[in-house]
Structure 1
């Protein structure tokens, strides 16, 4: 490979072009990073939760492709347990745990000794399922406590996608404890610094301030496996990844594609992508920076594969920051080792030809096209669309958590909670993406608060106060429709019909059916393909596209009930006591609210407003659009609710048979926890009474 520089340079350039086409270029990588870090900020802005969420790994690093289909590494930092490395860091009134990193612990791991919360002294509780007391009387926290703590992790996110959920990458969720200081086992790494060596002194200085996590996993085969906690330097590793150049990132992506294509199908979970990352770090730190160029990509890949080959021979892949931690310990079985070595050797000896056989992301066929001077379809728009759609999902997930926190509150309690949150957010010194996250979420909270106040106003005075309207106006640009539909709903409930008509007309004007994508994460349902216009808009914008191209569900809490038309209020009472037993955990987060997709609710409100205004033609047009939407829109999350609303319209039209058909269709979609049962009983009662 090294004897033919022209060949190497040509293949490297074509390979770089192919990787750019499948989304491994500066623009898409930066877009990936911005979106995932913004999701972090959005999900952590509510500090009332017990967890802080972080996204580490390939997704947030931008080191993946559509074909690799990387998991989402979701780390939840449990805030209620403190981990310290020095007695001087002990905090009164807190559950403190001292990291023990001596010779009895596996490299890269630690014990957590339990301390008292009232004095900087060892705890002396009795041992049980969570604690272990050694012969000297020291009490240690077992890593099995994670199984107890994870019972509560669902409350951090009913909307978080799990393994196998349609439209999302699989989630590898890890619960961790945080230590604010740099681990002792990694302090030698900070001191190692040569001239022009990577990482720089500035990078290491930053890393040293990030502290570390401890994860409830013991070293495989260790005699203390139940007591050991793995030390994780995820923040530092993120810093290192964010300081790689594009050729280094492409080299890492190629290693993962090779792993997925040639090794994982035969020997799954033997070589991990984290090992590949570690190999890359070691290669970069031991080579001159000028070799990591686009026209030298093939040689850089070969260099990394050689090091990985040698690591497998020695069955030792030292952690980059904690070298004593052998990532390959217990991973390479004697029966497997020669076959993996043979695969890697064949790839290295092929001088790049093996890449032509890769089907992942059509890399091989795309490389063929490049050498034939033919163009292939680029994937940047698909990636951008997925990123921004999932960002909208994160916003909805955060709102669902807020709704759940407010659902059993009285209107006055809800007002105080929302006021405190909004005031805190306005007065906080947010910077960077935290500030962007605040700007994305605050309009939603203003709308909710305005709606709760309006409900109180309507209940007491049958009017809406100027304060409520002002708050609602601050939330008009959350998305295309949902907040505006709340305003229209409020105006309809106080019979401000002309104003409601103007708001609804503006929503319909902005709701481009070729672009706007419905957003619903209340439950899992079969989704159709997203709109081409949505793809194109996302490729040219960042998070600002959410207000122009998405339409979230319209959600009314019980404390907003007087802002809800009577036909929709039934949804708050959809469940009998028996029905509640058949709810999933996720359904408990929304089934006591009135929730409806934006587009059918738009047409339902138009129908009701035009009925009161006596505009028959427009009323019938709205009824037709409502019927068509329920029939043809593939991505409705609450089709059964839309059918219930359509049934009420049919009742108003005097079409009892059609109304009954709507309710039966609704029940065919959701047989339990469905207000259609109430509507059917009411309708049949009316019909029977009319006949008698």
Structure 2
């Protein structure tokens, strides 16, 4: 098909449509900032890198969040260093007998410096100690499952949950650019990537992920060399048209090609990314513009068909590795090419059978303002503890746009909600110290009020409740509940959560389209309450929930539960019963069938209600509540089973 039949006007119209469906430049930037800020301020010894589609700024159907955690104790070198530092474990690459893009990792530190748990990941190979990727991944899975029970399987090099919503790759790092990828630095290219970007990329080094070549005799000790950091930087340098073309290929794969079950898994997003990288090197960046998006997409698809036909797609950084070598059987290749050629002939009309872009011909454009659309990107809450000092430093020194300052400020406010949660239990004897600690906690909680419309107030109310100041707690709860109106948008911490606005919420967002993102978020959003492990501001009646791990409780049911506790301990049983009835009302009116398919959404309101029944000596009702949750709680994420055993 001759792509010139598409006019510039049609391309621009399609571009605008894709901006609505996939995200405009500002929305994509907000997504990236959200995860970048998490990476910067992640409160853990392991440096974190968000990758996958969401880390790249995309949120398509089936998009996942891949998190790479870099082991801080291991350092990888390509050749043996002259000197070894203490408190680090040194490894050196051995690539003599490995395929391109794979390596063995040999221990060069003394074996006795390894901890007992680390020794379990090494195996002898003659006189050498080789780091086993298979054993390392198995040991990391055991550790992850201990703290996060639903991370219970491996998925490629990653530890994952049953639904593959989250992938955590525990990887190692070499701070230098490796010699196998040196030719990439000076390779002839038109204008992309720029020399400045190339220089920046090579300072980031490479990663090693624990996976070998399938069915290789040494699969268990091979490590794949990963250029994830470099690839993320390259994606970030794309024009928006480039990014949308890459998105179109991903939609084509996931929603059209993989509808043929026997083709599922033959291609993956990594191949498409590699393809777009190669094409981008060959073209002048000026080609990737909105009025040319359809021809650009068609050119990418044409190249993909060519690569499959000749079973050739070279690794972008190490071309000696042909990603399509022995990838397809004759039958699979023929069927794959047939589907792609039909899609090419149909042009963008092929997307009429995709779930994401099927309404293009209807020209449905959402009238939401850009600010409101950015706000909706914040609803999939990222529940990582982050460092206040890192956030503040980067806000002051590296935040140059209003959007980045707004998102940094929201994260900073949320970080202050965690700060006092580990303070109350460490009270010293002196009244002066207790007073200073009280002021310290209150100051953090007051800053935390700005994270959203309600959750900060409920953390403050819970803090007062723990200090038996029931009157102050009730004042704050009542104020928070007054803010829980129909225009507020509740945020659920669950994979793939999508916002659906009611008419009131839509009107409020439209009326605020000239406001800063930070003000919109703190005015209309309601976050869940994230209590850390052994939190000292969670009510004592909920201490079981945080004995071994952090927990997340929906805001409005928690508000009524906390109100119940205050009235109960103030001996106002009539008011306590009214608060119980409010929890039941929420369950009866606000929960849909879809909510009950999500364990997280309905579990805690029922547990809170069960505790209320137990405290009011309605034992049979309490037992029924805890039984309902215990049966569904296969990973023992709640205290339901323990509470049931104690009745």
TM-score, with structure 1 as normaliser:
0.74
**Which stretch of the first structure deviates more once superposed, 504-513 or 538-547?**
538-547
2:582 corresponds to which of 625, 636, 661: 625
- Name the structure 2 match of 1:670: 629
Counterpart in the other structure of 1:412? none
Give me the whole-angstrom Cα distance separating, in 1, the residues matched to 2:535 and 2:196: 52
Alignment of 1:52 with 2:75, yes or no, is no
1:436–1:503: structure 2 CA closer, same or farther, 3 Å change rule?
closer
Q: Which residue in the other structure is 2:34 paired with?
A: 35
Matching of residues 73-112 of structure 1 within 5 Å: 73-88=66-81, 91-93=84-86, 94-102=88-96, 104-112=97-105
User: Distance between the aligned counterparts of 1:596 and 1:359, measured in 2?
Assistant: 36
Identify the residue that residue 445 of structure 1 maps to in structure 2.
418
Paired with 1:556 and 1:76, the residues of 2 have a C-alpha distance of 20
Q: What displacement does 1:245 show?
A: 0.6
Match of residue 357 from structure 2 = 362
3-state SS in 2 of match to 1:92 = coil
Q: Which deviates more from structure 2 when the two are superposed, residues 664-673 or residues 433-442?
A: 433-442
- SS of 2:277's equivalent? helix
Query: SS of the counterpart of 1:361?
Result: coil
**Residue 310 of structure 2 is aligned to residue 334 of structure 1:** no
The change in CA–CA distance for 1:531 and 1:247 in structure 2 (over 3 A counts) is closer
Say if 2:351 and 2:357, in contact at 8 Å, map to a contact too. no
In 1, the alpha carbon distance for the partners of 2:544 and 2:58 equals 47
Aligned pair 1:509/2:482, yes or no?
Answer: yes
Q: What's the CA shift for 1:544? A: 6.7
Contact 1:282 1:320 in 2 (8 A): yes
**Counterpart mapping for 1:573-584 below 5 A:** none
Give the Cα–Cα distance (whole angstroms) in 2 for the partners of residues 83 and 601 of structure 1.
Answer: 48
Query: Is structure 2 residue 549 aligned with structure 1 residue 589?
Result: yes
Distance (whole Å) between structure 1 residues aligned to residue 71 and residue 532 of structure 2: 31
Decide which structure has the larger Cα Rg and report it: 1
Contact 1:518 1:553 in 2 (8 A): no
- Report if the CA contact (8 A) 2:533-2:548 is conserved: no
With over 3 angstroms needed to count, the CA separation of the structure-2 counterparts of 1:596 and 1:354, relative to structure 1, is closer
CA deviation after TM superposition for structure 1 residue 383, in Å = 7.4
- SS of 1:98's partner is strand
Q: Is the 8 A contact 1:517 1:530 kept in 2?
A: no
1:488 lines up with 2:492 in the alignment: no
CA distance in 2, matches of 1:624, 1:228: 59
- CA change 1:304–1:443 in 2 (3 A) is same
> 1:336 aligns to what SS in structure 2?
helix
Task: Classify the secondary structure of the residue corresponding to 1:140.
Answer: strand
Q: How much has 1:233 moved relative to structure 2? A: 0.7
Q: In the superposition, relative to structure 1, how do residues 469 and 636 fare at CA in structure 2: closer, same or farther (>3 Å)? A: farther
Q: CA deviation at 1:335?
A: 2.4
CA shift in 2, pair 1:255/1:8, >3 Å: farther
Residues 384 and 538 in structure 1, CA contact (< 8 A), matched pair in contact too:
no
Distance (whole Å) between structure 1 residues aligned to residue 152 and residue 506 of structure 2: 21
Q: 2:526 aligns with which of 531, 546, 550?
A: 550
Distance 1:378 1:551, change over 3 A: closer
Per the TM alignment, residue 607 of structure 1 is displaced from its structure 2 partner at its CA by 4.9
Structure 1 residue matching 2:180: 3-state secondary structure: helix
Please say if 1:171 is aligned against 2:171: no
- d(CA) in 2 for partners of 1:57, 1:379: 27
Consecutive unaligned residues of structure 2, counting only runs of 5 or more, are 114-118, 592-600, 631-639
- Taking the TM superposition and a 5 Å limit, the aligned residue runs for 1:413-432 are 431-432=398-399
User: What is the alpha-carbon root mean square deviation over aligned residues?
Assistant: 4.4
Contact 1:144 1:216 in 2 (8 A): yes
Q: 2:634 matched to which residue of 1?
A: none
Q: Does structure 2 retain, via aligned residues, the 8 Å contact 1:99–1:111?
A: yes
Q: After the TM superposition, which residues 42-441 of structure 1 pair with which residues of structure 2 at under 5 Å, given as runs?
A: 42=41, 44-47=42-45, 51-66=46-61, 69-88=62-81, 91-93=84-86, 94-102=88-96, 104-117=97-110, 130-134=122-126, 137-145=127-135, 146-154=137-145, 170-194=165-189, 196-220=190-214, 222-266=216-260, 267-350=263-346, 352=347, 354-355=349-350, 357-363=352-358, 365-366=359-360, 368-370=361-363, 375=365, 387-391=377-381, 393-395=382-384, 398=385, 431-432=398-399, 439-441=412-414
Q: Which residue of 2 aligns with 1:639?
A: 605
Matched pairs, number? 599
Does structure 2 retain, via aligned residues, the 8 Å contact 1:443–1:474? yes
Change (3 A) 1:304 1:604: closer
SS of residue paired to 2:248: helix
3-state SS of 1:603 partner: helix
Find the aligned partners of 2:569 and 2:128 in 1 and give their Cα distance.
Answer: 76
Alpha-carbon offset, residue 205 of structure 1 = 0.2
How far is the alpha carbon of 1:238 from its aligned partner? 0.8
Q: Any unmatched runs of 5+ in structure 1?
A: 121-126, 400-420, 575-585, 681-692
1:503-555 CA-partner distances (Å, limit 9, x unpaired)? 2332223333552526567xx9x999866467887896757766552243474
Query: CA 1:451–1:139 in 2, change beyond 3 Å: closer, same or farther?
Result: closer
CA contact (8 A) 2:210 2:222 kept: yes
CA offset at residue 176 of structure 1?
A: 1.5
Decide whether aligned partners of structure 1 residues 553 and 328 sit closer, same or farther in structure 2, where only a CA change above 3 A counts.
same
Taking the aligned partners of 1:359 and 1:286, their CA distance within structure 2 comes to 30
